[in-house]
Amino acid sequence: MMHLRARNSDWPADRVAEARAVIADVAHHSDHLIRLACTVLATHGDTAAERKDARVLLVVIDARRPVQRAQREANGRAAR
């Protein structure tokens, strides 16, 4: 038997709290998890400033992707 959460559950508040914890410690989390946390905060953040900051950090994290890919490719070529 499947149990569904009540609509007024703490689920959204719990996800926002987890997202804030990830953002507070970005140095110890993967870009994927940081990106997910930014998406949660950009959508469900309590204030306009929190939502904006999450969107800005998401842009920064996404901008790093090509650099990391180029570094991996360069390291692969150097190893040959």
Domain boundaries in the chain? 11-79
* Residue-level pLDDT at 41: 97
pLDDT of residue 57: 95
What mean pLDDT, rounded, does the chain reach? 85
Q: Kindly report, residue by residue over 67-76, the tens digit of the pLDDT.
A: 777 777 777 7
Q: What is the DSSP letter of 5?
A: P
Higher pLDDT, 65 or 35: 35
- C-alpha torsion angle, residues 54, 56, 59, 64 (rounded to 10): -90
CA–CA separation, 72 vs 75, rounded Å? 5
Read off the pTM.
Answer: 0.71
More confident residue, 56 or 62: 56
Instruction: Reply yes or no on whether the pLDDT at 2 is more than 50.
Output: no
Contact 5, 11 (CB under 8 A): yes
Q: What is the mean pLDDT of residues 40-67?
A: 92
Question: How many Å from the N-terminal Cα to the C-terminal Cα in the chain?
Answer: 56
